[in-house]
Amino acid sequence: DAKTTQPPSMDCAEGRAANLPCNHSTISGNEYVYWYRQIHSQGPQYIIHGLKNNETNEMASLIITEDRKSSTLILPHATLRDTAVYYCIVRWQGAQKLVFGQGTRLTINP
């Protein structure tokens, strides 16, 4: 699985868009980008994933650059409940495990 690099921490004001970057410069053609988050003392929660096209669901949007070497997770209107550690994971389709890095600790401030 390709390695990912994320900033260790970020802050965002409540109600604003939170943009979380992830670098994955060694990603290969059949690897997907997944995002999970972990709210304190809970199990990780799936957010979104994509291959090369931008994706959107009820929780977030995922923007993947054309060269696929980086991506951005966008929480459009962050709330206090979005405070969590966000993990960017790159994995190929048949992989049977998730390889978690250190993630980004996102703090939403009132």
Partner 1 sequence: KAGVTQTPRYLIKTRGQQVTLSCSPISGHRSVSWYQQTPGQGLQFLFEYFSETQRNKGNFPGRFSGRQFSNSRSEMNVSTLELGDSALYLCASSLIDMNTEAFFGQGTRLTVV
Taking CB under 8 A as the rule, which mask of x and - marks residues 29-48 in contact with partner 1? ------------xxxxxx--
Q: Do 109 and 11 touch, CB atoms closer than 8 A?
A: yes
The residue count for binding partner 1 (CB under 8 A) is: 20
First to last CA, the chain: 37
48 to 107, contacts with partner 1 by CB under 8 A?
Answer: 49, 87, 91, 93-103
d(CA 107, CA 19): 12
Chain residues in the site for partner 1 (CB under 8 A):
41-46, 49, 87, 91, 93-103
